[in-house]
Amino acid sequence: MDFISNALEASVTEIGDLARGYRREEGGHALRCIHCAAAFDTELLHPVAAGMGTADRAAREHVALVHGGPLEALLAFGKEKTGLTGIQETLLRSFQSGANDREIAVTLGGKSESTVRNHRFQFRKREGEAKIFLALMALVSAGEGPDARPFTYPFDVAAYDERIFVTEPEAAAIETRYLDFANKPAMPKFPKRQKEKLVLLRKIAELFEVDKVYTEAEVNRILMPVHEDYVTIRRYLIEYRFLERKPDGSEYRKR
């Protein structure tokens, strides 16, 4: 289940993970970046700037060096996810840097200090509203039956709208309609509807092990029994980010 896509269900601990840019895997033996597939074994030392360090330090350095830090990594999701305008992003960067209102006003091209202070107030107001909304959604989720809970994906999708929204029971029905995984992973027909396509691709992706490196030939051998046009299935798995592929096609990996 993708961490960012389900942020509205986040507990205080998970919000802290979002702010750090990485989280502890179930079982507690690895720290995983929430922005990519990088993972750090907590029982091992890892290369860091000063030599070797703990998994926590390595994860912090990874987020900073690869993703520009937790703030930039979250802002990179864009307005559709954050709801922030360009000037609001600039303000958040300035606030995090510790700049005072006068310095920020100059950065904004001569805005007044009172304007900057008003933005600070609006952000804090929005923070309070978000906390209440998260609490409300936690209560709603606790009371919802399984038929109302959305089917989730192991990556961040552009938008959960009617094109892809499907409940777990509906997803199970789609899998039953198109797949015969009880006997063999066969799919005689591949659907055109977006929601059905995504549901089936998630199921097909279960044929691959997380973080295991596959060659293209190995991927093909796994997909050949699934559908005669296994090349298209492979392409969809990449396009919809169920699998990652190196630019030269030499390695495939499940997120």
What is the model's pLDDT at position 25? 81
Assigned token pair, 160:
């959960």
Nearest in space to 77 (alpha carbons), one of 2, 151, 167, 11 = 2
For residue 159, give the amino acid letter: A
Residue 10's pLDDT band, with cuts at 50, 70 and 90, is very low
The pTM of this model reads 0.65
Amino acid identity, residue 175?
A: E
Q: Which helix (H) or strand (E) element contains residue 175?
A: helix 168-178
pLDDT tens per residue across span 106-152:
989 888 999 999 999 999 999 999 999 988 988 887 887 766 666 66
Query: How do the domains of the chain map onto residue ranges?
Result: 1-78, 84-143, 168-254
pLDDT digits over 168-193, tens only?
Answer: 788 888 888 888 766 566 787 888 88
